[in-house]
Amino acid sequence: MLPITSRAFWDKYGMLTIGLVIVGIMTIAAILSPFISPFDPDKLNLDYILQPPSLGHLMGTDALGRDIFSRMLHGARISLWVGFVAVGISISLGLILGLVAGYFRGWVDEAIMRLVDVMLCFPSFFLILSVIAFLEPSLINIMIVIGLTSWMGVARLVRAETLSLRERDFVAASRLTGASSTRIIIQHILPNALAPVLVSATLGVAGAILTESALSFLGLGVQPPTASWGNMLLEGKQVLEIAPWLSIFPGCAILITVLGYNLLGESLRDLLDPRLKQ
């Protein structure tokens, strides 16, 4: 095993380590936010309106005197919750449809793939905007809509893996023993198709966080007074010239979190894909 201080370790696992550190810190901060927040994120204090960062308020205060650091911590919970749940929905749906299409082929494959093609004809973000416009903007609706509009890539990826795996000798041997299609899919094909899905899920969390932030910035996502990095950016835009910290801190949080998940996903892809190994 390579020592962590060696150059060889950082050449091979550097991006993975950095991604894990960023994701770990953000996740721990989100989980512990109710306990480590110095103030109530929704409590108004009109005596401390638009205060710059200081020892009393590490990231300053907003136009209603609310502590930005506390709202950042609670906003992390919203962003990560949206990312995990939305990706969970998209991965589950894409995994099921991809396995069914790749294993049974024929008209089942054609029907599912044509549905994928139709869904891919619509720009994802504008499709989400259209659906949200007809629904009440809420956290649950956002998670469901993002999940239901982002499963197509996973379905195509899993289908390709399944088409390859179903021709392997161990699957043929399982058929000869009389195993049902359901058992073959669950016990033999699914475990071997999970590696690329894990990479897709990691990158999908980053995409879901960006989408939620964009929706909240447009006023169609998480609604005030609930703290979200996106709606904090929206509030900061209105006073950008006199209180730039209101936009800088949530913007940097989105950037760093998305970067962490992208580094993690890319590193996992390099490690799990045997074609990329030298």
Per-residue pLDDT tens for 258-267?
999 999 988 8
**Per-domain residue ranges for the chain?**
60-276
The whole-number pLDDT of residue 273 equals 65
CB-CB neighbours of 164 under 10 Å: 13
As a whole number, mean pLDDT of residues 56-75 equals 91
The CATH H-level (homologous superfamily) assignment of domain 60-276 is MetI-like (1.10.3720.10)
The whole-number pLDDT of residue 92 equals 93
| Per-residue pLDDT at 227 exceeds 90 | no
The whole-number pLDDT of residue 96 equals 93
pLDDT in tens, 47-57: 888 889 988 88
| Per-residue pLDDT at 127 exceeds 70 | yes
Q: Terminal CA-to-CA distance of the chain, rounded, Å?
A: 18
- d(CA 190, CA 96) in angstroms, rounded, equals 10
Which residue(s) pair with 61 in the sheet?
A: 67
pTM over 0.85: yes
Q: How confident is the model at residue 84 (pLDDT cuts 50, 70, 90)?
A: very high
Those residues whose C-beta lies under 8 Å from the C-beta of residue 159, and which sit 6 or more positions away, are 97, 98, 99, 101, 102, 109, 112, 113
pLDDT in tens, 96-118: 999 999 998 889 999 999 999 98
